[in-house]
Amino acid sequence: MTQSPQPVLEVEDLSIRFQERGRSLLAVRNLSFQVARGETLAIVGESGCGKSITALALLGLVPPPGRAEGKAIRLEGRNLLGLGPEALRDVRGRRIAMVFQEPMTTLNPVLTIGEQIVETIRDHETVSRREARDRALTLLERVHIPDPVRRFGEHPHRLSGGMRQRVVIAMALACNPVVLVADEPTTALDVTIQAQILDLIDELKQGGMGVVLITHDLGVVAGHAERVLVMYAGRKVEERAAADLFATPLHPYTRGLIAARPRRRVDGGGRPRLVEIPGTVPSLAAMPPGCAFAPRCASATEDCTAAEPPLTVLKNTSLEDGQVACLRVGDFLAPSHSLPHARLA
Amino acid sequence: MALVVLGIAVVNFFLLHLAPGDAAQVLAGEAGSATPEYMAALRRQFGLDQPLPLQFLQYLGNLLTFNLGFSFRHGLPVLELIGQRLPATLLLMTASIGFAVLAGSALGVVAARNAGRLADTLISTLALLFYATPVFWIGLVLVVVFSVGLDWLPVGGMTSVEAGYGGWDHVKDVARHLVLPAATLGLFYLAIYTRLMRAAMLEVTTQDFVRTAVAKGLKPRRIALRHVLRNALLPVVTMLGVQVGSILGGAVLVETIFAWPGLGRLAFEALFQRDLNLLLGILLCSSAVVVVVNLAVDLLYTVLDPRIDFAR
């Protein structure tokens, strides 16, 4: 991929392995992607496809017995894989920060909001208490919290879910990170609040921050991400520019996801029946042979179960630098694209 | 609160009167000349010849005027007797609970932060040992080792007999006498707090906000003390409130072993001498202590956990 001049985050060949009682399972396999400054990369997939654990791996937070392995997670050129605990701690919260799914539980109930922002600043930079406090107040303002001086001294239980998520974002921004990882930041919130939070993240990335947005909601992706990475069973199955993905989804799984979105009522009629992808994500311990999606795929052929389809780059087509892992991708491309051969590596 | 204490007093009164025998019998037995006339005279003198309901009404009437009655055995008003002994018991209780909570929590924190490693195994084993060992046995062993063997600390009592100490020397003297009884009484509770704190710390560690703290890149020490410990203290404080009652019970044993001039021993003696007025007074007094401590614990909650509000 050559789309971005200087990626701020590069993940190369990342695998996440869980080893327990002699069994070794791969929750994520050979995942690579890049995020540029000011860009949002959305990672999309069903529950259990490995997107949340990928988010945790970016901050070196994979819980034991899990382990991140592979070539590199490069943040501003520096490989985080293999950093010691102290070096990793220094990077977390300062250069790369995270926003979690559940704002009700991600804040410590017994500390005030102000304390929780200030401690982040003071554990990374040598600043006076007073200066840290001023910065925390500015941060609360930046995430549009009304009356920040009052909120500063309040405990989380006094705030609504949307407000808490703003506080979590303010906390994440405390040291001006270059990458923000947001793991389902709006799942636990009302629809109207969801839009506000996503708009806020959009606004904040104007400063040149790269954003990794983890979500299962394609609706979120449409308005707020430049690129979309679709994961299935721990593997990247498609990565495209967001506009391309919605216009011509290629992988059958992506097409299933897009078809499965709830749709508006058609004129005069009822709401169209909600389409679903049959079956469920396979368990890591019982992966089907070949393409992991084959058992649920309407287009699967015998070849699909023979070997895992390689990730192919769609060069020399109008789709530029998209990537898809499907044997039959050539059949799905519209004739106008005139792909000479399905596999173009 | 006053109702709770009054209820306890009523229950105590009838419970104690269920037991056979009275002060007159004990006194007469000791005197060796138990003629029926002598015993009847004693009973009349003590007011024990009245029917039980009447005795009860009189007792209640006295309570309302804070008159706890008269101990015929000691020849002193009950209130005065308790007043003499209460400070010693409160001192012993505070010292042993303070020791148990502080040292126990500290050990629990160390064990939790090193969960599964050598320090944790050592601390957990030790806690189990203290938990399982009878209090009187610990007391005797401590006496054998530190008083008899090493001669570091006094065997018993609260002050040295040669005494005459004043001011600061007196404080030091009492403190030296306090070490063994407080340690004996405290070790059992220390074991409980160690185990409780370890479990609470490990549980809080799995909470989302701790993961947030790690993701913020906070220093491990700050995470452990500020985020985990603050939240793990809640169950410990709950336990504290529950245990004040039982530690008063434990004090009876320890005060007897170490000849500590406290309420526990007084109650123990009163029970055997059927000195019901005194016993009732002591029980009332300890229930008041427990109630007050529980109130203090409830107030402490609101400080520790901002989600708990007076209004609710």
Per-residue pLDDT of chain B (312 residues; tens, 9 = 90+): 777 777 877 777 777 777 666 666 666 666 666 677 777 777 776 667 777 777 777 777 777 777 777 776 777 787 888 888 888 888 888 888 888 889 988 998 888 888 788 888 888 888 888 888 887 787 778 777 877 778 777 777 776 666 666 677 777 777 777 888 888 888 888 888 898 999 998 888 888 889 889 988 888 888 888 889 888 888 888 888 878 777 777 777 888 887 788 888 888 888 777 777 788 888 888 888 888 888 888 888 888 887 776 554
Report chain B's C-alpha Rg in angstroms. Answer: 24
Contact B305 A110 (CB under 8 A): yes
Interface contact B208, partner A, CB < 8 A:
yes
CB < 8 Å to A108, chain B: 209, 212-213, 227, 230-231
- Mean pLDDT within A138-167: 88
Check pLDDT > 60 for residue A342. Answer: no
pLDDT of B56 reads 76
The minimal CB distance from B208 to the residues A100, A110, A172 is found for A100
pLDDT at A339: 43
Report pLDDT for B162.
62
Contacts of A157 in chain B (CB under 8 A): 306-307
A chain contacts of residue B227, beta-carbon cutoff 8 Å? 108, 111
B218, B305, B306 ranked by CB distance to A120: nearest: B218
The chain A residue lying nearest B204, using CA atoms, is A108
Question: What's the mean pLDDT in A201-217?
Answer: 87
Nearest Cα of chain B lies from the Cα of A281 at a distance, in angstroms, of 26
What angle do helix axes B167-205 and B118-132 make, rounded to 10 degrees? Answer: 120
Question: Which B residues in the span 218-257 are in contact with A, Cβ-Cβ below 8 Å?
Answer: 218-220, 222, 226-227, 230-231
Measure CB to CB from residue A106 to each of B209, B219, B305 and give the nearest one. Answer: B209
Closest-CA distance of chain B to residue A215, Å: 19
User: Helix, strand or coil for residue A237?
Assistant: strand
pLDDT for res A266: 61
Residue A165's contacts (CB-CB under 8 Å, 6 or more residues apart) are A99, A103, A185, A186, A188, A189, A193, A197
Of B208, B217, B305, the CB nearest to A93: B217
The answer on pLDDT for A335 being more than 70 is no
- Asked if B311 has any chain A CB less than 8 Å from its own CB, the reply is no
- Check residue B174 and give its pLDDT: 76
Contacts of A224 (CB under 8 A, 6+ apart): A40, A42, A198, A201, A202, A213
Q: Do B208 and A102 touch (CB under 8 A)?
A: yes
Q: What are the residues whose beta carbons fall under 8 Å from the beta carbon of A332, sequence distance 6 or more?
A: A250, A252, A255, A299, A326
Interchain proximity A61–B307, CB inside 8 Å: no
| Long-range CB contacts (within 8 A, 24+) of B30-37 | none
Looking at chain B, which residue has its C-alpha nearest residue A170? B216
pLDDT class of A282 with cuts at 50, 70, 90: confident
Name the more confident of A315 and B199.
B199
Among chain B residues, CA nearest to A123: B218
Q: How many angstroms separate the CA of residue B304 from the nearest CA in chain A?
A: 7
Rounded to the nearest angstrom, the minimum Cα separation between A73 and chain B is 16
pLDDT of residue A337: 45
Q: Please measure the distance between the N-terminal and C-terminal CA atoms of chain B and give it in whole angstroms.
A: 18
| CA atoms of B306 and A153, how far apart (whole Å) | 12
CA-CA distance, A315 to A320, in Å (whole number)?
Answer: 6
Cα B218 to Cα B223: distance, rounded to the nearest angstrom: 7
Q: Is the ipTM of this complex over 0.90?
A: no
Task: Enter the tokens of residue B105.
Answer: 């929590």
**Chain B interface test: which of A104, A112, A119 (most B C-beta within 10 Å):** A119
Dist CA B136 CA B134 (whole Å): 6
Cα dist from A206 to A37, A72, A200, whole Å: 9, 27, 10
Place of tokens 């519209």: A334
- Whether the CA torsion B82, B83, B84, B86 is positive or negative: it is positive
On chain B, the residues whose CB falls within 8 A of the CB of A102 are 208
Amino acid found at B308: I
User: Other CB atoms closer than 10 Å to residue B51's CB: what's the count?
Assistant: 8
Kindly list the residues from chain B whose CB atom is less than 8 angstroms away from the CB atom of residue A86.
none
- Nearest-CA distance from A108 to chain B in Å? 5
Which region among A197-211, A213-227, A325-339, B171-185 has the lowest average model confidence (pLDDT)?
Answer: A325-339
Contact B211 A100 (CB under 8 A): yes
Q: How many A×B Cβ pairs under 8 Å?
A: 78
Q: Which two tokens stand for residue A327?
A: 């044997």
Name every residue in A having a CB less than 8 A away from some CB of B: 59, 61, 89-94, 97-98, 100, 102, 105-111, 119-120, 123-124, 155, 157, 168, 171-172, 174
Q: Tell whether the model's pLDDT for residue A344 goes beyond 60.
A: no
Q: What's the pLDDT band for A65 if we cut at 50, 70, 90?
A: confident
For residue B207, give both structure tokens. 């909470």
Give the pLDDT of residue A212.
93
What DSSP element (H or E) covers A7? strand A7-20
To which H or E segment does residue A28 belong?
strand A23-36
Q: How big is chain A, counted in residues?
A: 345
Pairing of strands A235-241, A227-232: antiparallel
How far apart are the CA of B104 and the nearest CA of chain A, in angstroms?
A: 22
Q: What is the pLDDT of residue A43?
A: 92
- Assess whether pLDDT exceeds 50 at residue A336: no
Residue A156: asked if its preceding bond is cis (omega within 30°), the reply is no
Q: Residue A275 in contact with residue A227, Cβ under 8 Å? A: no
